[in-house]
Amino acid sequence: MKLLLKKGWVLDPGEKIDGQFDLLVVDGKIAEIKPEIDIPVDKIIEVSGLIVAPGFIDLHAHLREPGFEHKETIASGSRAAARGGFTTVCCMPNTNPVNDSPEITRFIKAKAEKESPVNVLPIAAVTKNQKGQELAPLSELVAAGAVAFSDDGQPVYNSALMKQAMEKAAELNVPIIDHCEEKTLALTGVINEGRVSRLLGVEGIPAAAEEIMVARDIILAKNFNLPVHLAHLSTKGSVELLRWAKENRVPVSAEVTPHHLLLTEEALLSRDPNYKVNPPLRTEEDVKALRQALKEGLIEVIATDHAPHAEDEKKLGLEKAPFGINGLETAVPALLDKLVRTGEFSLNRLIEALSVVPARLLRLQNKGRIKPGADADLTLLDLKGVTSITRETFQSKSLNTPYLGSQFQGTVAMTIVNGRVVYPVLD
Ligand code: DOR
């Protein structure tokens, strides 16, 4: 099967490609990138005016299956990913049962193989049942197809166990991703502790709850020279700790979500539970620090933390609704509109954070790059197109996005996985 993408603007900061090229895909792999390719093929797609980027990889998403299929399934979450421009999604293990066994890892992979238009890569739990007591069978999990470990939703409290897990992950050559939260400080908190929580009279989650665990993980990484990846950073203090870590050559990497880059606690004045997320939306100063860190490359990755919850669950009100923002379909258009169109970030920087670096972290040699031999996973963007976020077009099974009814300038024009167009769905 030969597919030819004609006259797209190919942008790959990793391979240093920035120009108009024809791109030939043969049997799901990138075959050639040249200013002009003129050979007989099965299909030609005219893509002039569109950006052709290496396929976006979401390092942090919740697909909810098995166990919470009323919120999302592997199939619906994957369709949301395709629509949102993600060719690969890494799914967190806080399912029911927890993905702490090779059986569940294999179940997810098999289900995705059958039902998913995109690549689904399972992240397995660090500890059994995410209880923080005993390590999960990490080697077996990797053998079954896990690409990383995390107890996301929970930190690994026990530092000795965390150290052991970091050692094992390093030996297995996969990242370990920590959800940094000192729960004793965040116990009954609902939103950021500060002006808005005081105004609303709801319990707050202090920045210290995150920063204590960020500091602990950095110290473990430094003292034992073991890598760790920090999930969804949200505070200026975390950025300062990260700066110290990088200056001291500590093997630490970090991610930030679109919502922590784009929204502040002020949004919670509406009491809309669709803004309730963990870690919580913070202050303008935190947002500024996170953006600066992303610009400098202190934070390397943007990950959605796609956390679908059913409408009736989010309707329970601010105090009782579960934490989480639905992110796969809104992330790219919102980032294009609010960070790229405004000139604050280059498109190159965005592509690095959404594709090149996640591929590198996951050691995916054939992804995150447009190069002959690499998988033909591509995200095509139309910077002038408009994305409307509506109930009718939403692919996720849940609608818990604060952006329902919003329009963004910048749109995902096409998502291609292994040489197959998976969005828009063509018959
Ligand atoms: O807001 C969140 N939702 N944060 C997490 O860490 C977990 C996630 C979920 O699973 O809903």
- C-beta of 94 in contact with ligand 1 (< 6 A): yes
Look up the CATH architecture of domain 55-361. Answer: Alpha-Beta Barrel (3.20)
Average pLDDT on 276-282 reads: 98
Pocket test for ligand 1, best of 305, 313, 325, 328 (most atoms within 8 A of CB): 305
- From the CB of 264, is ligand 1 less than 6 Å away? no
Across 13-41, average pLDDT: 98
Distance 102 CA to ligand 1 centre (A): 23
Cβ atoms of residues 105 and 122 within 8 Å: yes
Q: Which among 182, 232, 323 is the best mutation to test ligand 1's pocket, defined by most ligand atoms within 8 Å of the CB?
A: 323
pLDDT tens digits for range 85-130: 999 999 999 999 999 999 999 999 999 999 999 999 999 999 999 9
Q: What is the pLDDT of residue 323?
A: 98
For residue 9, give both structure tokens: 């603007």
The Cα–Cα gap between 233 and 286 comes to 10
- Which atom of ligand 1 sits closest to the CA of residue 181? 6
Which residues are identified as catalytic? 305
Tell me if 73 sits within 8 A of 65, measured CB to CB.
yes
Displacement of CA 416 from its chain's centroid (Å)? 18
Task: Tell me if 400 CB under 6 Å of ligand 1.
Answer: no
- Tell me what the mean pLDDT of segment 197-216 comes to: 98
Count the residues in the chain. 427
CB of residue 326 inside a 6 A radius of ligand 1: no
- Rounded distance, CA 256 to CA 295, Å? 12
pLDDT reading at 426 higher than 90: no
**Distance between Cα 66 and ligand 1 center (Å):** 16
Does residue 40 have a pLDDT over 70?
A: yes
Residue nearest to atom 9 of ligand 1 (CA): 307
Question: Ligand 1, atom 5: nearest CA belongs to which residue?
Answer: 153
φ, ψ of residue 142 in degrees (nearest 5): -65, -40
Give the Å distance between the CA of 20 and the centre of ligand 1.
40
Whether 278 lines ligand 1, by a CB cut-off of 6 Å, is: yes
Whether the per-residue pLDDT at 392 is higher than 70: the answer is yes
Q: Whose CA is nearest to atom 7 of ligand 1?
A: 153
pLDDT-based confidence at residue 427 (cuts at 50, 70, 90): low
Q: Atom 6, ligand 1: which residue's CA is nearest?
A: 153
Residue 280 near ligand 1, beta carbon < 6 Å: no
Compute the average pLDDT of residues 220-240: 98
CB-CB contact of 149 with 141 (8 Å): yes
The full set of domain ranges for the chain reads: 2-51+375-423, 55-361
Helix, coil or strand: residue 188: coil
Contact 246, 252 (CB under 8 A): yes
**pLDDT for 51-79, tens place per residue?**
999 999 999 999 999 999 999 999 999 99
Measured CA to CA, the distance from residue 342 to residue 406 in angstroms comes to 17
In this prediction, residue 304 carries a pLDDT of: 98
Average of per-residue pLDDT values in the chain: 98
pLDDT band at residue 186 using 50, 70 and 90 as cut-offs: confident
Select from 94, 96, 182, 281 the residue to mutate for testing ligand 1; criterion: most ligand atoms less than 8 Å from CB: 94
Question: Using one digit for the tens of pLDDT, what is the confidence trace for 251-268?
Answer: 999 999 999 999 999 999
Question: In whole angstroms, what is the distance from residue 229 CA to residue 303 CA?
Answer: 12
Cβ of 179 below 6 Å from ligand 1: yes
Q: What pLDDT is attached to residue 187?
A: 85
- The architecture (CATH level 2) of 2-51+375-423 comes to Roll (2.30)
Q: Is the CB of 102 inside a 6 Å radius of any atom of ligand 1?
A: no
Nearest to 94 by CA among 308, 299, 240, 382: 308
Per-residue pLDDT, 397? 98
152 lines ligand 1 (CB under 6 A): yes
Average pLDDT over residues 166-182: 98
CA of 95 to the centre of ligand 1 (A): 11
* pLDDT at position 7 over 80: yes
- Above pLDDT 70, what percent of the chain? 100
Ligand 1 center from residue 50 Cα (angstroms): 34
Q: Report the DSSP pairing between strands 420-423 and 43-46.
A: unpaired
C-alpha atoms less than 13 angstroms from C-alpha of 63 in its C-beta half-sphere: 35
Q: What are the pLDDT digits (tens) for 309-359?
A: 999 999 999 999 999 999 999 999 999 999 999 999 999 999 999 999 999
What is the 324 CA–ligand 1 centroid distance (Å)?
Answer: 5
What's the CA gap between 98 and 183, in Å, rounded? 20
Mutation choice for ligand 1 from 58, 60, 62, CB with most ligand atoms inside 8 A: 62
Nearest atom (ligand 1) to Cα of 323:
1
